[in-house]
Amino acid sequence: MPEKTVQQPLMRDELLPPSRARRRHLISIADLGRPDIERLLGLARTFATSLDRDVKKLPTLRGRTVVSMFYEPSTRTSTSFELAAKRLSADVMSIRASGSSADKGESLKDTALTLGAYDPDIVVIRHTSIGAPDVVARHVDAHVVNAGDGKRQHPTQALLDLFTIDEEFGGVDGIHVAIVGDVLHSRVARSNIQALVLMGAHVTLVGPPTLIPRGIEALGCEVSHDINAIRDADVVYVLRMQRERMEAGANFVPSLREYTARWGVSAERLTKGQRVMHPGPMNRGVEITPDVADAAESLIQRQVRSGLVVRMAVLYDLVTGGPVSAVAPATIREVA
C-alpha cells in the first residue's frame, strides 16, 4: 500500500487525547460571552449562601485536585483560590516560585510537566509573563485558570468586581465606572474594561496620558485626563501605581508625591454616595487616602469576600462543564 503523504486536516479535538479535548480554561475575559458571565455570577450567588452556614464546606469537588502556582507575590488571589478549592472539598497543592525549583532555574514547562504527573483537575497560575497560562495549558492535562499574567489579564478579578457591583446596585447594566490611575500596567484594568463593557456598564478611564494606553477607547470605554471626571461616576475604581511593571528609568509621573496631588482619590474629590473599589494591594496615601479606603462607601472588603465565592464558581464551572449551551464553545479556549 502506498504511503499516505498528504494528511487530511484534522478537527482540533481529534488532535488532542480524548481527555484533553474536554478541557476548558479561563484565560481571558475575551473568551467569555455575556451568558457565561451571567452563569458564573449566578453560581457565585448560590455559593454565597453557603458562607452564612456554620459548616461552610461543600462536597462538590471531593476527590478533585487543584494545583496553584504563584510566581508573583499575592495575598488576596492566592488565599481565595486556595480557600475556594478547600471549601469545595478539593485536595489543594500550592507552590510559590520562591522555595520551589523555579528558584533553581527550572522552566515553567518542566514545572508544569512535573505537577501534571499528579493528574490535577485544575491548575491556577499567576506569572510575571504574558502567556504563562497558555504554556501550562499546552503541557498539563488540566483546566487552567489565569490568576494574572504580566499586564495582560486577570479574569477572576474582573468577575469578582462585577459580582460586587451587581450586589451593590442590583445590576451592572448602565452603571458608570471610572477607573483611575495606572491603566497602562494593569491587567485588572484590561480585564475589567472588557467585562464591564460586555455587561453594559459605562467605563471612563481617568489618569495622566503617560499611564493610559493610546487607542484603548477601542475596547468601548472613554478616556479623560481630568481627575474631576470621576465625579460623574457611580463607582470610582482606584488602581495601584504598579512600579514593579514599569521599565527601569522610564518616568511615567514626575514623582509619587506629584501623582498623589494630581490623581490621588481623596474625600474632597468624590461626591456624596459614590462607591469606591480597589483590587488591592493598596498604597494608602498614594493613590487613595486612608479615610476613603475605610469609609462606609468603600466596597474594598466586599470585593475580597466576592473573590471567594466567584472563585468557587469558576472552579466548579470548569470541572462540571456548566450547562451545554450554544455559547459554551466561546468559554472554551483549547490551547493545543
What residues line the site for ligand NCD (CB under 6 A)?
76-77, 148, 154, 157, 187-188, 240, 242, 279-280
Q: Closer to ligand NCD at the Cβ: 60 or 79?
A: 79
Task: For the CB of residue 221, give the shortest distance to ligand NCD in the complex, in Å.
Answer: 18
Task: For the CB of residue 94, give the shortest distance to ligand NCD in the complex, in Å.
Answer: 16
CA distance 264 to 120: 43
Task: For the CB of residue 192, give the shortest distance to ligand NCD in the complex, in Å.
Answer: 11
Q: In the bound complex, which residue of the shown chain has the CB atom lying closest to ligand NCD?
A: 240
Other Cβ atoms within 10 Å of 33 Cβ, number? 16
Write down how long the chain is.
336
- Half-sphere CA count of 231, side-chain side, radius 13 A: 7
Q: Closer to ligand NCD at the Cβ: 154 or 275?
A: 154
CA distance 81 to 318: 14
The grid cell for 266 is: 481623596
CA distance 251 to 247: 9
Q: Closer to ligand NCD at the Cβ: 35 or 213?
A: 213
Q: Could you identify the residue written with the cell 484603548?
A: 216
The grid cell for 57 is: 464546606
CA distance 201 to 175: 5
Q: How far lies 241's CA from each of 159, 204, 302, in Å? A: 22, 18, 22
Task: For the CB of residue 161, give the shortest distance to ligand NCD in the complex, in Å.
Answer: 10
Q: Closer to ligand NCD at the Cβ: 34 or 243?
A: 243
Task: For the CB of residue 148, give the shortest distance to ligand NCD in the complex, in Å.
Answer: 5
Task: For the CB of residue 237, give the shortest distance to ligand NCD in the complex, in Å.
Answer: 11
Q: Could you identify the residue written with the cell 457565561?
A: 36
